[in-house]
Chains A and B, each alone.
Chain A
């Protein structure tokens, strides 16, 4: 139903109806229409997050306690690790991202969500696909292509589910109102179009008409990095572009910066990926082209970072109160750190030490967790109250979640980076036995397990809190749940 067509209930005093009132009603209708599909995606995502966290803990502990469960085939490290990764990538991150993207799309297209059945079916199929894939991996059916381990039968289901989601997104665009397309929509539209393309291209080039030998690895990492940048990265950046100006109520600093940031991102980030195969059996130009593209991602990163920073300028005190803003800004800062780390690690002179070490795991986690997951948490803290009509119950739980996640991912990144450095240093010295490198990293792996416990605590806290909201146990106050009491002088501001 088009909100514009909805007759407003005649208020007592017609003269009092302002444009703002109409907008509020419109938003209320839109939010109500997105309730079921978005909550469905969010709930599934959080369930997968918990599963993935447990698997991650198992993977992490087994790295320094290798004899755990060594007699059970489906608990072997080499199967649980891809299960963890795929649960996180396709179960948690993708579903959370789609949930947020649906809500943002509806809001920004200023139209109620049409055909919610498409999305509900999409979510159901998606869950089914991930479940099928994870069971397949654990039973020993992995394809052996990193980030694409799901066996064929699961990939088909995932793709079908995605087709439902994308057809909905196209319909939404068709019915959008207003003729300006906001920055967030560029990123979301890009993500929605890029993902099926890269997924289909990788499936075709790896399974249907497989390319030869090392080209498979090239396609795998082309896909893997584009998934990281053009799917998760685009959704994450788009969300940040919405949440930051929305929460502080101020326009984004510069349209020009946003344009440059978006197009340079699309152009350069899509060329990265091969640097993960540095010094491998590939023509040098492929690797170097990706390294050069990684260096060029400085352009979008600096641009977007500056744009967010200037938007926030003067409003940083709000980080003290708003959970959404705090998670989002933390994510945006991690994005900058992630990109900077990516540039440094891609350089050949650095890669010859850090390639093949745990440092690449640090990089992936900084991107997928520090940046994307944190931005998603932020958006959930914003969106969920609007869907369930309740406020988050406990500020303390939000704080616990934030600090658990922030310290967890920080500790994990530091541990893996430092571990990667020692591992790389001892590996590149041929006078040391190889076992020296695997021994030298053990203390850091134990530290990583500690960070895993922090993250696990944070996730279960969040899931519990989300469950309260879902069952209508949130607060019914008219004020949002702030992290800290708002001081009087920052109280009433503009609407």
Chain B
């Protein structure tokens, strides 16, 4: 080949083509999304995180959680994510508009976390199930039992988790029974000692996020209750650091269950608020 100029031109041209094609054009298409609102500008989704959850996101990133945990639900035609109850619909670009970076994840050495906050046991017990009107799980319709989250009663909780068998299939084994899966206390104990809750877990423990300290006066309310083998010695307790609390707040905030217009909410009958009234 003779002459530098055609070489330069070709090298720039080919690369510019890919740069425009794979970053600029998609950015034009999906790079400027707004939160979805209903017609009256209410009920915005998603909303930016703040406070502890935002700080928890940083803890999540800096400790590389996203290398093993994805945060994306694939559609029903690809993979079994929805069958595993990791979400009721596939993830869409709009779910991530406030994430920086968007922790989509590349591998699943741990379960998907897109909706782990949604799976937490409901905090307010059987209140008129009102607040989360659009959320399918809040519906009193009988079919809603498919959503594992809404039920606050422990037996139902176990039941609801069984079909998913996500991370907690073995949790009954070592003294984890009394903790409701995906509650804040459960997360703390899981981060401190994953294998005390899930025998088969491969997750490293994150003990550096917890401190063991002498009980001064009253035991702290948020101390982790471990079983005998791992428990702190008499007079000591294991308490989460602020980072650990933030991380758990972040995990509890992960929820992509809000329906999006551009995505069909998977073959999920519970998405219907109620049976479409009597047949005629």
Contacts and interface: CB of A to CB of B under 8 A. Distances in A.
Contacts of A73: 63, 208-209
A267 interface: yes
Contacts of A72: 208
Contacts of A140: 62-63
A217 B104 contact: yes
B30 A76 contact: no
B242 interface: no
B250 interface: no
Contact of B101 (A144, A189, A442): A144
Contacts of B62: 79, 140-142, 144
Interface stretch (A29-37, A274-282, A401-409): A274-282
A427 B33 CA distance: 32
B18 A213 contact: no
A218 B22 contact: yes
Interface in B46-94: 61-68, 70, 72, 74-75, 78-80, 83-84, 90-94
Interface string A158-193: 000000000000000100000111000010011001
B18 A210 contact: no
B10 A263 contact: yes
B27 A215 contact: yes
Given A144-B61, A218-B22, A280 B74 contact: yes
A190 B67 contact: no
- B80, B198, B209 — most chain A CB neighbours (10 Å): B80
A67 B205 contact: yes
B107 interface: yes
B107 A430 contact: no
Interface stretch (B123-131, B166-174, B221-229): B166-174
A54 interface: no
Given A76-B208, A213-B33, A435-B198, A280 B14 contact: no
Given A273-B22, A360-B107, A437-B108, A70 B204 contact: yes
B100 interface: yes
Given A78-B65, A140-B63, A214-B96, A356 B205 contact: no
B64 A279 contact: no
B63 A281 contact: no
B134 interface: no
Contacts, number: 249
- A212, A263, A282 — most chain B CB neighbours (10 Å): A212
B122 to A, nearest CB: 23
B106 interface: yes
A201 B19 contact: yes
Interface residues of B, number: 81
A213 B93 contact: yes
Interface in B155-207: 165-167, 169-170, 194-195, 198, 200-207
Interface in A203-231: 205-206, 210-220, 222, 226, 230
Interface in B1-27: 1-4, 7-8, 10-12, 14-15, 17-19, 21-23, 26-27
B204 A66 contact: yes
B30 A283 contact: yes
B175 to A, nearest CB: 18
Given A189-B11, A428-B80, A434-B165, A181 B96 contact: no
B15 A266 contact: yes
Nearest to B163: A430
A194 B18 CA distance: 11
Contact of A356 (B23, B29, B63, B108): B108
Nearest to A290: B22
Given A357-B108, A428-B80, A213 B203 contact: no
Contact of B31 (A82, A211, A360, A433): A211
B259 interface: no
A63 interface: yes
B95 interface: yes
B273 interface: no
A2 interface: no
A286 interface: yes
A146 B102 CA distance: 11
Given A216-B100, A271-B18, A356 B107 contact: yes
B22 A215 contact: no
- A62, A213, A439 — most chain B CB neighbours (10 Å): A213
A173 B8 CA distance: 12
Give me the 5 closest cross-chain CB pairs, A-B, nearest first. Answer: A78-B64, A430-B83, A213-B96, A270-B18, A433-B165
28 contacts: A62-B204, A70-B205, A73-B63, A82-B67, A142-B61, A181-B3, A186-B7, A194-B11, A212-B33, A214-B104, A215-B31, A218-B23, A267-B14, A270-B17, A270-B18, A271-B18, A271-B21, A276-B106, A279-B74, A281-B104, A282-B93, A283-B26, A283-B30, A283-B93, A360-B107, A361-B107, A435-B169, A435-B170
Interface of A: 62-64, 66-68, 70-73, 76-79, 81-82, 140-146, 173, 179-181, 186, 189-190, 193-194, 197-198, 201, 205-206, 210-220, 222, 226, 230, 259, 263, 266-267, 270-271, 273-274, 276-283, 286, 289-290, 348, 351-352, 355-358, 360-361, 427-430, 432-435, 437-439, 442
Given A222-B19, A434-B84, 10 more contacts: A67-B204, A180-B1, A181-B3, A201-B23, A212-B32, A214-B96, A214-B104, A281-B95, A282-B26, A352-B74
